[in-house]
Structure 1
């Protein structure tokens, strides 16, 4: 596949007018039944996103094209399954490789709707699950609602890193940017690698390892942020160059979910709902994680007294390090992800954690986009929340593992969380847009 991939990217570089179509088509093929297992779509998507970030397409255009392409792949796969049902096993490819569909079928039967959301981030399952959903006659409105949510998260996770890499290569960044970025990215990679390895091997202290590693990185950021100024300034300059009125509106809506008052209300409602449902241990875990994260963030912010970037027309006067939006969002969504993964195998628990990081990272990144925080601020907030969440989980499971919550509790919790987040995103939007003008 190497020469073919090199030839494809070389041709797109020479013909950038076809890049938009390439993003759409590759995203569609990556999510298309059978084809998504054959074509190296993940690698190709990253390469095309790098080319797009090199000046050919804006971030909004790249994400929209990827989202629409992936959604089309889902719908076509679903319709194939709905039309052929069990006869689809006789199609070319599936006849020679029955394991491709049997694995997705077992996964769908076990996890239902959640399989479409979680399986989107598991390579071999991603293109097959929509087809299996059609085979089992899942109602189309229910399928499309879940697919819209899954496609949005998948697009950000798979296209944003490549686009940002392309944009960073194109711009004249400060001289020390790349070494500092290497230190930051390397530290996060070590944390993620150790967490995944210890979890998959069912290490008894996996949660404690994650907490300690997060604390070490947090301490490094607290001590070393004055020496990461090229990294901070370079990323701020990169992001500010690509601001637009339409993306501003989206980012302001996202950032409003992470405001202190919004996080306080959402966290309080979550803990209260768990208490009403008599999920005592889960309520204690959630309440402790959210409360101690908020207290630690406030104390750290006053201790370091770091000044915010001077990007906004009317700069915020509160201190910057660590980001309260980042720590609050990661604490909330990691808590929900941990509760969702209870009683499931390690691979599923890790996938739930990945899903929880997506909305949290969106809120955190909105702060850098809007110029309200330095990049190291949001990293410190994420590490703080991860450390507290992992430590709280380890303490909660000292004697017995935290049990899985019944489905009826999730039908109470999830709609409430979604409704609250949507309300917080839309409230006082015109005033918020003026607040974050640059």
Structure 2
């Protein structure tokens, strides 16, 4: 391994070709059993950690090589079938094919994925898959996924080791203990889950039989409901039970989210975190894709699909199903409009007029899940499990993409989307229950319905994308908020209007925000650095591993991220007190400009200063604990700044000090 690392480090351009060849040849029939492809890829990972090789290109060539190797072996098996057994070296080692056939017969398509990680079988299983007639598409999907997993499983440990060669000896025993403990916990959880599953299954079966026996001996509404949901002799009972669970779960979730929105509970704080995070991740390419997806969920597309399905049902004289179809979409849209007008919740970004300017719940998401969800129920009813699974997967994918597009484009809060999904699920489940119980079986034209809905969605969706995309690109463009309100009385008493404590995503109030600073980022950096403060080390593989060493000093460690209203600090600074104690400043920008003494204007930042001390539990690792005395760190920061001639004053709010700095 050391010789291989030395060679590849001297020839980085050649290294990519070596990685590609090793990944490919290791998967080729028969010869792959003796090619050390795994060792080559691990060595390449080590060179990634040493910053000799580019991680992107190494991963690409490793994945492509692994895909082509297994693909070639699959082609051999599919093309030559049993004749391969008469060729050398398989003719001399017939046990290889026998083992491959046995493994494939036991695990099926999963053997292609698992076999790549098993040395004796990795080059035989793809051949057997081809000989056994495994469908090309299915093999390709498993082949690609296994190649990605195999490459990651060999590159990542190597990269971790290569980035931390100097720490490897010091932390290896601790890493082993932690990993062994993690494996033990996972194994214990699996064992307990299996025991609980076996016990729960038997218990549930006994209770179901008791309830069914009780219901069969009685008359009334409750016994009839119990039999319709639990009687194993009724083929529709499982579907009714699933729909009942979806109805109760969806209704409970919708009411809970509505309560959180009305009372500004922690979910609203998480709304802000999701919105800010997604807006930071936006780029032009994904914007165009998400705009096209959200246009597929627009009112024009939904109404056209509704009308097309209604026409097919009317043509086939499925009048009862048509009535349910129109009731499903009509009532849901009326309910969404009523809720919008009642709650009047503002959108994250103003982009609509009229009733559409309100955010809760999302009309796009609600109409999508009702239209396509109820259509999926009609198409999948009384069909085979494979058809039901396929239809469900397609609908979940479409509705999920539309829901995510509303979040990504800033048109809705997370709670709006979750409320719409839960409300739509509950409404579709309720309609499904009533339909199964009260509508006599109608011969629905499933093929005509599916083709009509799909073609309408594609054609009308493409037309809407073509005609509305330019205008929607302007509507959903990322907003640049440049104007900030001015707080003219901040220096006197306006500071009291800012939050007193850091707020976690779950709404809990944590450390006091003891610093308010008016100035630019460059000014703060200059004044703090002049006072002996500096930026903490960044989070890297090396600094992360340092937490596993009990001998680590405080100056070597990065600062743990703490969120305020869903956002991480924009700037952090540290000052070492001694090898095991340090002062930490975390600062967040506000939306305010302030007017301070001498009519000086500046942006207003809010933050906290804390004292952290290192502890070493069981002498196995290092932890940073925050001291609960918050006044002393604020006083120390004020002292350091006063020596630099910075204008400041200390105010009291409740029992804590607030440092105003300009």
> Shorter chain as normaliser: what TM range?
0.5 to 0.7
Report whether the alignment pairs 1:426 with 2:466.
yes
Report whether the alignment pairs 1:215 with 2:255.
no
Classify 1:412/1:234 alpha carbon distance in 2 versus 1 (closer, same or farther; 3 Å).
closer
1:223-262 equivalence runs, <5 A = 223-225=259-261, 226-227=264-265, 228-262=267-301
In structure 2, distance between residues paired with 1:239 and 1:200: 42
In structure 1, distance between residues paired with 2:296 and 2:100: 45
CA-to-aligned-CA distance 1:300-328 (integer Å, 9 cap, x gap): 11111111113x6x566611100001101
Classify 1:77/1:231 alpha carbon distance in 2 versus 1 (closer, same or farther; 3 Å).
farther
In structure 2, distance between residues paired with 1:96 and 1:302: 61
Classify 1:270/1:427 alpha carbon distance in 2 versus 1 (closer, same or farther; 3 Å).
farther
- The alpha carbon displacement at 1:354 in A equals 3.6
Greater strand share, 1 or 2?
Answer: 2
Q: Conserved in 1, the CA contact under 8 Å of 2:373 and 2:428?
A: yes
CA-to-aligned-CA distance 1:199-248 (integer Å, 9 cap, x gap): 99826433123112211111111111221221100100110110001111
- The alpha carbon displacement at 1:89 in A equals 12
1:328 is aligned to 367
Q: Conserved in 2, the CA contact under 8 Å of 1:294 and 1:324?
A: yes
Classify 1:262/1:76 alpha carbon distance in 2 versus 1 (closer, same or farther; 3 Å).
same
Classify 1:136/1:205 alpha carbon distance in 2 versus 1 (closer, same or farther; 3 Å).
closer
- The alpha carbon displacement at 1:286 in A equals 2.7
Could you tell me which of 456, 461, 468 is aligned with 1:416?
456
Could you tell me which of 98, 104, 110 is aligned with 2:105?
98
Q: Conserved in 2, the CA contact under 8 Å of 1:330 and 1:361?
A: no
- The alpha carbon displacement at 1:299 in A equals 1.1
In structure 1, distance between residues paired with 2:283 and 2:311: 39
In structure 2, distance between residues paired with 1:207 and 1:353: 14
Q: Conserved in 2, the CA contact under 8 Å of 1:308 and 1:374?
A: yes
Classify 1:385/1:247 alpha carbon distance in 2 versus 1 (closer, same or farther; 3 Å).
same
In structure 1, distance between residues paired with 2:236 and 2:82: 36
Could you tell me which of 364, 370, 380 is aligned with 2:403?
364
1:99-178 equivalence runs, <5 A = 100-101=107-108, 135=133
- The alpha carbon displacement at 1:337 in A equals 2.1
Q: Conserved in 1, the CA contact under 8 Å of 2:316 and 2:445?
A: no
- The alpha carbon displacement at 1:408 in A equals 4.7
In structure 1, distance between residues paired with 2:84 and 2:423: 49
CA-to-aligned-CA distance 1:249-278 (integer Å, 9 cap, x gap): 111111112222332222222222232244
Larger radius of gyration: 2
Classify 1:247/1:84 alpha carbon distance in 2 versus 1 (closer, same or farther; 3 Å).
same
Q: Conserved in 1, the CA contact under 8 Å of 2:366 and 2:424?
A: yes
Q: Conserved in 1, the CA contact under 8 Å of 2:296 and 2:457?
A: no
- The alpha carbon displacement at 1:387 in A equals 1.3
Q: Conserved in 2, the CA contact under 8 Å of 1:255 and 1:425?
A: no
- The alpha carbon displacement at 1:281 in A equals 4.3
Q: Conserved in 2, the CA contact under 8 Å of 1:255 and 1:367?
A: yes
In structure 1, distance between residues paired with 2:466 and 2:397: 20
Classify 1:414/1:136 alpha carbon distance in 2 versus 1 (closer, same or farther; 3 Å).
farther
In structure 2, distance between residues paired with 1:211 and 1:370: 29
Report whether the alignment pairs 1:290 with 2:294.
no
- Contiguous gaps of at least 5 residues in structure 2: 1-22, 24-55, 86-96, 112-124, 149-228, 479-662
Classify 1:259/1:406 alpha carbon distance in 2 versus 1 (closer, same or farther; 3 Å).
closer
Where 1:336 maps in the other structure, the secondary structure is helix
Where 1:243 maps in the other structure, the secondary structure is coil
- Contiguous gaps of at least 5 residues in structure 1: 1-25, 27-60, 105-126, 156-196
- The alpha carbon displacement at 1:377 in A equals 0.5
Classify 1:84/1:253 alpha carbon distance in 2 versus 1 (closer, same or farther; 3 Å).
same
Q: Conserved in 2, the CA contact under 8 Å of 1:301 and 1:321?
A: yes
- The alpha carbon displacement at 1:330 in A equals 1.1
Q: Conserved in 2, the CA contact under 8 Å of 1:306 and 1:319?
A: yes
In structure 1, distance between residues paired with 2:429 and 2:310: 18
CA-to-aligned-CA distance 1:99-147 (integer Å, 9 cap, x gap): 555999xxxxxxxxxxxxxxxxxxxxxx99xx79x94989xxxx79xx9
Report whether the alignment pairs 1:270 with 2:309.
yes
TM-score of the pair, normalised by structure 2: 0.38
- The alpha carbon displacement at 1:339 in A equals 2.5
Q: Conserved in 2, the CA contact under 8 Å of 1:214 and 1:384?
A: yes
- The alpha carbon displacement at 1:365 in A equals 1.2
1:343 is aligned to 382
In structure 2, distance between residues paired with 1:379 and 1:322: 9
Aligned residues: 293
Q: Conserved in 2, the CA contact under 8 Å of 1:342 and 1:404?
A: no
